[in-house]
Every structure is written in structure tokens, then in C-alpha cells.
Amino acid sequence: MSEQRPHVGLIGLAVMGENLALNIARNGFPLVVYNRTTVRTEEYLAGSAAGTGITGVATLPDLVATLEPPRQIILMVKAGVPVDAVLTELAPLLDPGDIVVDGGNSYFRDSERREAELAAQNLMFVGMGVSGGELGALWGPSLMPGGPREAYDILEPMLTAIAATTDYGPCVTYIGPGGSGHYVKMIHNGIEYGDMQLIAETYDVMRRALAMPATEIADVFAAWNTRALESYLIEVTSEVLRFIDTETGQPIVDVILDAAEQKGTGRWTIESALELASPVPTIDAAVTARNLSALRGLRVQASEVLMGPKSPGGVSDAQAMLGGDADAALASLESALYFSKVSSYAQGMSLLAAASTTYTWDLNLSEIARIWTGGCIIRAAFLADIMRAYSENPELTNLLLDVNVARKSDETVGGARRAIATARSWGIPVPGTSSALDYFDTLRQIALPANLIQAQRDFFGAHTYLRTDREGIHHTLWHGDEQPSEPVPLQIVTDA
């Protein structure tokens, strides 16, 4: 009889867990669920899980006893302390070879630690990013599992069955060892922050410089969603802008407070970028913009004191600055958004490459782009270009250097320049779009003004500098009489 017992268990029946469990059961994998608060399990079994074959238990020992080894237990509990709390109770109950999958938004360093702790108990720990929200969890998420390859091979049939599927296959792949799965999910979320900020800025230029009502902007986004910008977030934006608030009769977006919240993954992405010296300025701008938006009291105060442009002009002036008539203006904004998105993804992919090298994860960037083509929040037609670019050249140093991507950037960068110039003239903040263009413009410079910064550092701190015309480490006697610079023994000073 024991072979009749299910292998799969799921812990945590909040919005993600309950939907993922339904997905697993619907795809023919019998499973047993457990939630810390038992009444939630009972409600679930009597409610949405009724008739699905899902069974439930009231304790962790019961869960372990009900499952057939090697057990495959998925945690969908709140990230942080709850994951450790569950593991502390669960691990001693398990047998060698059992697998624990953490499907929450855990910090990748926590996943590295947990993998090591469980490995010491002959258990396999898989840190798996799950993207797509509750609908994705139910109908097919994008899955980013990292940890022991052996564990992935056991989990693969189930993960492949429950993941979203696109023309490019199931949206799951083995990411790599350790915390790489949660790292990739973190970068996915960072890119998502960037996408949302860029879209919001484009909307802001349309509503403020072009005086377009929300419903008209919705039509524009719907049209864009049929072209190069086709993506889930553009589609969502169009639907949100079209939605009318039943209480006021106004577009609901016009009555929603302009203070955005955030959870940890955006901040973690920036922290990692700083640590690995692999800049993600557009994600940085997006997180900063959310933080500034949350300072609403300060902004209200500042709006009464700090002055904007006196009279930037009317709609026709903005259209002219954006390239001509209404159609030309919108074409510029479409180009600007596409260009900025490409720049932002180039930043995110570069950070993944840097992490792969630093942590020796051997990430397959083409595969990562592929599993983001469906199920997840950043799914977009453009991901196929990224997939192709890294598949043709896995050693590509930056996405913007791919010939096809470079050509598209070249075709659209003019729109970004016009959009930013217009926004600046109208006093509309566009930090994400600006950072995307600055990243591009910085990358393509042979001569940045960092020569002056090096000179300044050497002036006040004798930090030395390199020269363009000869080898060696140099220092100038800035304060003495006009002495020529002399090579000095290598002495690296790192405190400035």
C-alpha cells in the first residue's frame, strides 16, 4: 500500500500556496497540504480544494507520516523567520534524500544557508522563485529552482507540468546551485520594478504634458501591446487605466493615492548590484521613486515651496517637442519606453552575469530569458530577443552589444531623448527613463570625465592615477612647485 502514498506535500495555504496546490493536483500529482492555522486547512479542503483529491493534515508529523519518501515538500509561507521556523520543526522529522522546496520570495543568502544546513542532515533544499501571482500559481507560473541538481531531476516532472508553457517550452529550468534560484527571482522582481516605473513615467508624460485622460492613455497602451512592447505589464496597465471606479464614476487610477509600496526584492537587487559593482541604475531609480512617492507629506509641503518651469507651454508645444503632431508624439513615447526597457533589461542581465561569475553558478542567461517568456509578471515579447542574443553568444558582455538589440536601441533612442527633454521642460520627473538613457550614453563613451575624478582624488588624497599615454601608477605633487609627475611604487589607497 505504501506506494499509493503521495510524495508531494505543501505547507502554507495563503493565496500562493492554495493556488499552487490546486495546480499540482490538477496536473495529476496527488498531494497533502498543511497550514499552521488548522482552520484554514479545513476551510480550504471544504472550499476550493473540494473534489480535487487534495487531502490535508493538522500537524507536521502527520504530513511527514502521510508522504512517501523521497518526500517533496513545498513551503509557501511568508519569507524570513517563518521559513526557518518551519524548517526547524520539519527537518528532524524527515528521512535522508527528502526534498524541501522553498517557493517563497526568500533572500538568496538565506537559501544558501538553509541548503547547507539541510545538506548536513542529508536533506536536499531547493530555493525556488515562483512568479506570476495567484493566477500564475493556479494556471502556470514561471519557476526558478536552484539547489542540488539531483533534487531538481526528481522534481522536474511535476515542475514541468505545473509551469506555464509558451512557444519556447515550459517556463522552468534548473537555474543552478545554492541560492541561485532565489537570486534569479530577485533580479526578475528588480526588472519588474524598473518596467513598472518606466510605464508610470510614460503615463505621466501623456497625462501631464499631453493632457490625455486615463481612458485615452489606456487605448494607447492597448495599441502598443500589439507591437514591440507586447507584454503582460503593458496589458495590465491598459486594463487598469480603463477601469472606472463605481463610487465616483471616475477612472479608478485618478482616485488612487500616489504613494507606492515595496517589499524586499527591489532593495536586495540594488544592494547586490552595489556589492558586485554591476550597476542597475534603472532598477535603482524605480526603488528610489517608490520611496520618494511614499514621502507624501514632504511632497505636499515641497509643492508649495519649490517652483517648477514657469510656463512650459500647451499640448501642441509638448507634441512639437516630442516630434510633431499627436501621432508623432506618441510614437516618440513608444520608442522611449521600448528603448528604456531594453536598457533596463541589459542592466539586469549584466547583474545576473556578474553574480554567475562571482558565485560560480554557471547561469544560462538564454534559458533564464526563456522561462520568463510566460507565467511571470515581466513576460514580454522582447524576452525572445534576449533569449536569442544569449543563445547565439553565451559570453555576450552586455545585451546592448548584441547586433540586433543594438540596432533596435539605435532606432528608438531618439524617442527617449525627446521624451526626456520634454519631461524636463515640463518639470515632470522621469528618473527611470533618464537613468536608462544615461546607462546607454555612459556605455558608449570612450572618454568619461572620470579622468577629472581621478585627478581630484590624487589632489586631496594622493590616491594615484593611471595615464593614457604611458604605463605605471602615477602621482602628481599638486601643492609643490611645478614638478613633473613621477611613477611611484604601487600603493593602493581604498578609503575614498
Task: Give the active site residues.
Answer: 185, 192
Best CA proximity match to 108, nearest among 128, 122, 123, 88: 128
How far, in Å, are 12, 210, 256, 414, 436 from residue 203 at the CA level? 38, 10, 15, 18, 17
> Please, what is the minimum distance in Å from the beta carbon of residue 132 to ligand NBP?
7
- The answer to whether 77 contacts ligand NBP (rule: CB under 6 A) is yes
Choice from 37, 246, 468, 494 touching ligand NBP (CB under 6 A): 37
- The answer to whether 376 contacts ligand NBP (rule: CB under 6 A) is no
Phi/psi at 360 (nearest 5 deg)?
45, 55
Nearer to ligand NBP, 60 or 218 (CB): 60
How far, in Å, are 110, 112, 114, 359 from residue 362 at the CA level? 20, 16, 21, 8
| Cell digits of residue 275 | 556589492
- The answer to whether 133 contacts ligand NBP (rule: CB under 6 A) is yes
> Please, what is the minimum distance in Å from the beta carbon of residue 40 to ligand NBP?
5
233 Cβ neighbours under 8 A, 6+ residues apart: 192, 195, 196, 199, 377, 378, 380
CA atoms of 257 and 338, how far apart (whole Å)? 27
Touching ligand NBP, residues 92-121 (CB under 6 A): 104-105
Nearer to ligand NBP, 163 or 405 (CB): 163
Best CA proximity match to 234, nearest among 283, 192, 269: 192
- The answer to whether 30 contacts ligand NBP (rule: CB under 6 A) is no
> Please, what is the minimum distance in Å from the beta carbon of residue 252 to ligand NBP?
20
* Three-state secondary structure call for residue 100: strand
- The answer to whether 73 contacts ligand NBP (rule: CB under 6 A) is no
- Given the rule CB under 6 A, which of 130-138, 318-326, 380-388, 467-475 is the region that contacts ligand NBP? 130-138
| Cell digits of residue 179 | 541560492
Amino acid 323 reads: G
Q: Are 68 and 7 in contact (CB under 8 A)?
A: yes
> Please, what is the minimum distance in Å from the beta carbon of residue 129 to ligand NBP?
8
* Number of shown-chain residues binding ligand NBP (CB under 6 A): 23
CA atoms of 169 and 270, how far apart (whole Å)? 31
Choice from 17, 147, 148, 190 touching ligand NBP (CB under 6 A): 17
Choice from 26, 69, 79, 235 touching ligand NBP (CB under 6 A): 79
Best CA proximity match to 118, nearest among 99, 105, 104: 99
How far, in Å, are 56, 281, 413, 449, 491 from residue 445 at the CA level? 61, 17, 15, 10, 29
CA atoms of 123 and 400, how far apart (whole Å)? 42
> Please, what is the minimum distance in Å from the beta carbon of residue 287 to ligand NBP?
17
Choice from 5, 14, 66, 208 touching ligand NBP (CB under 6 A): 14
How far, in Å, are 87, 342, 349 from residue 383 at the CA level? 36, 10, 11
| Cell digits of residue 118 | 539541510
- The answer to whether 262 contacts ligand NBP (rule: CB under 6 A) is no
80 Cβ neighbours under 8 A, 6+ residues apart: 106, 107, 110
- The answer to whether 36 contacts ligand NBP (rule: CB under 6 A) is yes
- The answer to whether 85 contacts ligand NBP (rule: CB under 6 A) is yes
- The answer to whether 40 contacts ligand NBP (rule: CB under 6 A) is yes
Nearer to ligand NBP, 46 or 211 (CB): 46
> Please, what is the minimum distance in Å from the beta carbon of residue 74 to ligand NBP?
11
Best CA proximity match to 183, nearest among 262, 260, 81, 278: 278
- The answer to whether 354 contacts ligand NBP (rule: CB under 6 A) is no
CA atoms of 334 and 407, how far apart (whole Å)? 16
Nearer to ligand NBP, 21 or 349 (CB): 21
- Given the rule CB under 6 A, which of 25-33, 81-89, 272-280, 337-345 is the region that contacts ligand NBP? 81-89
Please give the residue whose beta carbon sits closest to ligand NBP in the complex: 104
> Please, what is the minimum distance in Å from the beta carbon of residue 291 to ligand NBP?
20
Nearer to ligand NBP, 130 or 286 (CB): 130
- The answer to whether 78 contacts ligand NBP (rule: CB under 6 A) is yes
Q: Are 342 and 438 in contact (CB under 8 A)?
A: no
Choice from 25, 33, 49, 130 touching ligand NBP (CB under 6 A): 130
Touching ligand NBP, residues 286-325 (CB under 6 A): none
- Given the rule CB under 6 A, which of 36-44, 321-329, 355-363, 442-450 is the region that contacts ligand NBP? 36-44
DSSP 1-49: -GGGS-SEEEE--SHHHHHHHHHHHHTT--EEEE-SSHHHHHHHHHTTT
Nearer to ligand NBP, 83 or 285 (CB): 83
Q: Are 60 and 88 in contact (CB under 8 A)?
A: no
Nearer to ligand NBP, 134 or 317 (CB): 134
- The answer to whether 12 contacts ligand NBP (rule: CB under 6 A) is yes
Where residue 149 falls (left for φ over 0; alpha for ψ -120 to 50; beta otherwise) is alpha
> Please, what is the minimum distance in Å from the beta carbon of residue 89 to ligand NBP?
8
| Cell digits of residue 373 | 517568456
Nearer to ligand NBP, 107 or 339 (CB): 107
Nearer to ligand NBP, 54 or 212 (CB): 54
Nearer to ligand NBP, 130 or 400 (CB): 130
Instruction: Report the interface residues with ligand NBP, using CB under 6 A.
Output: 12-17, 35-37, 40, 76-79, 82, 85-86, 104-105, 130-131, 133-134
